[in-house]
Structure 1
Amino acid sequence: MDDPLIQGLETAVAAQPDNVELRLHLARLLVDAGRGGDAVPHVATALQQRPDDPAARELMAQALGTPPAAAGAEPPVPPVPPAPPAPPARQRQREGFDWSAAETDLGDVVPAMFVDGQGENATPAFDVDREHLTLADVGGMREVKRRLNAAFLAPMRNPELRRTYAKSLRGGLLLYGPPGCGKTFVARALAGELGAGFMTVSLADVLDMYIGQSEKNVHEIFETARTNAPVLLFLDEVDAIGHKRSRTSSDGIRNAVNQLLLELDSVGDDNEGVFVLAATNHPWDVDPALRRPGRLDRTLLVLPPDAEAREAIWTHHLRGRPIQGIDVRRLVKASDGYTGADIAHVVDSAAELALLDAAESGELRLIAQADVERALAEVRPSIGPWFETAKNVALFANEGGSYDELLAYLRKTRRL
């Protein structure tokens, strides 16, 4: 029967695995009880947190059956000349504890304390996904697809024509427009169309509280992309990552932007198979240096979905729900000016109406046209504030015609 004290300590260690003192106390009791093998994992875990703890080292030696000699003690002189057989190599000691032998002994019990990051089991800092979407899964958005084809697909798929017309793959593309209009979805579909990996990067992946770490993060992101090429590197909300340096007092942001500029130049000059695509709701906040030739030098306005795109969005979000008598074309006409996110919210609201009705009546029923139209009347388009800001930029800050496309759309939709 196990010692109740040992059993109690094992329960306590399981509840507080980071309590080193508690773990070492349990290990001492196990060694005293002749259970050195059971004590070894506990001492090894403690040594990972306190590698220079002499008491823990001595306890490890005792657990392995090789107690160190007392300090200053002279070894006894055997009265008989024949020497005892040498101990196994892994138990041999000269001064103190044999850490190399212990690491070999404990390799299957606890992980190594230090690694060089080059082993086959090294974990990459950033993930590279594989997309199964293609541009065929994107409803409507014909102009967006045409521009993506010209910027990425046609040059990549026709290397002979690219050489004939001296068309470079250098530089990247900046998608901008109101939120909820599918910029991220388009980026994922483009990665699938290219047959490339997909890496998405946000501000949280870059900024770090420690000096120099933000720049290192940016470099590691691009190095991961180069190592796994072909890759589409998607900089989401690039206005946060690449904010105008003239408007920030943060050295961390400024240095991160500087490093991003260096990496974009490197991608343009030295690397094949790394396609840079960025997205933002506020292109006017992006540092101008990021939009110079060879960097994010082409912009593409992603507008609220047209009729064809809205039909695809309505169908997608209604599919798989219990519906009856839904007139999608009527919904398409009624939802002009709604974003894809708005439409998804309308469908969820319609489902809630049917669910509440079923909960109150105790009878299940299908989602009907009336539910969707009622939800549509309650959910208003979310893009109004964005267009108010964009209108001022297009009218008064359109340097070099950067927002001519936006200005034309505002006039066409009579938002001016």
Structure 2
Amino acid sequence: MSNESPLIQSMRTAVAAAPADVPLRLHLAELLLGEGLGEAAVAEAAVALQHAPGDAGARALMMRAMGLPAPADGKAETAEEPEQPAAHRPSTGFDWAAAENEVAGAVPPRFVTPAPAPGPGATAPEAPLAADGSGDPGDATAWEVDTPGSVTLADVGGMHEIKERLEAAFLAPMRNPELGRLYGKSLRGGLLMYGPPGCGKTFIARAVAGELGANFMSVSINDVLDMWMGNSERNMHEVFETARRQAPCVLFLDEVDALGAKRSRMQHGGMRNTVNQLLTELDGVGGANEGVFVLAATNVPWDVDIALRRPGRLDRTLLVLPPDAPAREAILRYHLRDRPIESVDLGKLVKVTEDLSGADLAHVCESASERALLDSTRTGVVRMINMKDLLGAAKEVRPSTDPWFASARNVAMFANEGGMYDELLAYLKKRRKL
């Protein structure tokens, strides 16, 4: 600082008064560079780039201050350049353009066996878990409501037992309202889905909405909880009011163990009031919930308040287990559909991925792609993803469902009130997990 000229010191005072003024800061950096204070100029240019990351002048000044050669055209490269080649690619001498062209010309056979004919359970399920509907709720609302989508249970690969139970216990009465009225069955309902994470509970909820031709509304704890007293209860009420206005509507309560946790364990009265409000809304006094189908999902059903499972609320349960063989084949085929693969034996891959969830299967495909990509960059020769990559990735991925089954086993064996976990016990015995 003591070696700086009075002009530079004055400029520093001006920059301190207006730290976000990029041109002023760059002018200071130019003066510093002119005085031979390269490090100080680099520091000022770096701060300028924090405020304006795409500023070409700041980039050029930074390069000069660091003693680096300027670009051929005399300008710093900008974000508008289409490919950003050298700045983000390893200097291995690998010809990326040629690699992309070679991969683009991938030819069959991709799989050892052809894809199955379209039909129930044969299309790709689980992977669209992250796909969002594009519906407009019609009137302005803080809650997103998706219009009836094209996804139905036919798009869920495998899982035939789950589909049959949904059809018998939930969908058939909803599809036949006249018959339901004849037998005094209300056009409303509640279903609690539980099971290990990553097995498609959210996708099944969307498929149920598509099956019923109903709107779809997904709600999590972040949508409801508020720091101010009374706002959480009001939000919960508005959620149900929106679903009632959009009826027929499937209202999906994700991670319901957070929205409806056991009140006996709560220390905060505000959260207990939120659970009480949820119970009140589920009751739908005066038939207000006609046409609102409540689906809830949780990984820990033993943490859900027992009052939520009372008849008339979430009185039916559905265990969603890791995908069976047909579902695993459909999920793997979906995640490999746009990747450069050759001679993949899905039948063999399905056998070695037992117990993996849908999320685990997606990770297997991603890991196999990384193996082939790294090998291609090391050798300089592009190759397809093959069975060796997929089998190696499958061997490294441990089932993420194992910790869940370890916890669920104790609950099912020693806290099976009312036989809620009978289906889980049967599965554990069948798979010799007890």
When normalised by structure 2's length, the TM-score is 0.67
Measure the CA separation in 2 of the matches of 1:397 and 1:240: 20
Quote how far apart the aligned CAs of 1:268 are.
8.2
Measure the CA separation in 2 of the matches of 1:121 and 1:413: 48
Deviation digits for residues 175-195 of structure 1 (CA, Å, limit 9, x no counterpart)? 000011110010111111111
Measure the CA separation in 1 of the matches of 2:335 and 2:194: 24
Quote how far apart the aligned CAs of 1:330 are.
0.5
Q: Is 1:370 the equivalent of 2:388?
A: yes
Could you say which residue in structure 2 is the equivalent of 1:347? 365
Could you say which residue in structure 2 is the equivalent of 1:260? 278
Question: What is the aligned counterpart of 1:188 among 195, 206, 219?
Answer: 206
Deviation digits for residues 15-47 of structure 1 (CA, Å, limit 9, x no counterpart)? 9xxxxxxxxxxxxxxxxxxxxxxxxxxxxxxxx
Question: What is the aligned counterpart of 1:125 among 114, 119, 142?
Answer: 142
Q: Is 1:402 the equivalent of 2:382?
A: no
Could you say which residue in structure 1 is the equivalent of 2:178? 160
Could you say which residue in structure 1 is the equivalent of 2:6? none
Q: RMSD between aligned alpha carbons?
A: 1.9
Question: What is the aligned counterpart of 2:237 among 213, 219, 223?
Answer: 219
Q: Is 1:327 the equivalent of 2:345?
A: yes
Runs of 4+ in 1 over 4 A off after TM superposition: none
Quote how far apart the aligned CAs of 1:271 are.
2.7
3-state DSSP class of the match of 1:211?
coil
Could you say which residue in structure 2 is the equivalent of 1:280? 298
Q: Is 1:317 the equivalent of 2:335?
A: yes
3-state DSSP class of the match of 1:300?
strand
- Which of the pair has more CA radius of gyration? 1
3-state DSSP class of the match of 1:129?
coil
Q: Mean Cα displacement is larger for which, 129-138 or 333-342?
A: 129-138
Quote how far apart the aligned CAs of 1:320 are.
1.1
Letter in 2 for 1:162: G
3-state DSSP class of the match of 1:199?
strand
The higher relative CO (CA closer than 8 Å, separation ≥ 6) is in: 2
Quote how far apart the aligned CAs of 1:228 are.
1.1
When normalised by structure 1's length, the TM-score is 0.69
Could you say which residue in structure 1 is the equivalent of 2:404? 386
The alpha-carbon distance between structure 1 residues 302 and 396, as it changes in their structure 2 partners (threshold 3 A), is: same
3-state DSSP class of the match of 1:269?
coil
**For 1:9-408, what aligned pairs fall within 5 Å after superposition?**
123-130=140-147, 131-266=149-284, 269-408=287-426
Deviation digits for residues 58-111 of structure 1 (CA, Å, limit 9, x no counterpart)? xxxxxxxxxxxxxxxxxxxxxxxxxxxxxxxxxxxxxxxxxxxxxxxxxxxxxx
3-state DSSP class of the match of 1:174?
strand
Letter in 1 for 2:344: I
3-state DSSP class of the match of 1:277?
strand
Measure the CA separation in 2 of the matches of 1:122 and 1:331: 48
Could you say which residue in structure 1 is the equivalent of 2:433? 415
3-state DSSP class of the match of 1:276?
strand
CA contact (8 A) 2:186 2:290 kept: no
**Structure 1 regions of 5+ residues with no counterpart?**
1-11, 16-119
3-state DSSP class of the match of 1:365?
coil
3-state DSSP class of the match of 2:271?
helix
Quote how far apart the aligned CAs of 1:365 are.
1.5
Q: Mean Cα displacement is larger for which, 156-165 or 212-221?
A: 156-165
Measure the CA separation in 1 of the matches of 2:359 and 2:210: 22
**Structure 2 regions of 5+ residues with no counterpart?**
1-17, 22-136
Quote how far apart the aligned CAs of 1:170 are.
3.7
CA contact (8 A) 1:174 1:299 kept: yes
Measure the CA separation in 1 of the matches of 2:138 and 2:337: 42
3-state DSSP class of the match of 1:270?
coil
Measure the CA separation in 1 of the matches of 2:285 and 2:159: 28
Number of residue pairs aligned between Structure 1 and Structure 2: 300
Deviation digits for residues 336-369 of structure 1 (CA, Å, limit 9, x no counterpart)? 1111111000000001111111122222211111
3-state DSSP class of the match of 2:240?
helix
The alpha-carbon distance between structure 1 residues 320 and 214, as it changes in their structure 2 partners (threshold 3 A), is: same
Letter in 1 for 2:210: G
Measure the CA separation in 2 of the matches of 1:369 and 1:400: 47
3-state DSSP class of the match of 2:140?
coil
Percent identical among aligned pairs is 68
Measure the CA separation in 1 of the matches of 2:285 and 2:377: 57
CA contact (8 A) 2:153 2:208 kept: yes
CA contact (8 A) 2:153 2:207 kept: yes
Quote how far apart the aligned CAs of 1:375 are.
0.4
Measure the CA separation in 2 of the matches of 1:256 and 1:196: 27
CA contact (8 A) 2:177 2:187 kept: no
Quote how far apart the aligned CAs of 1:156 are.
2.2
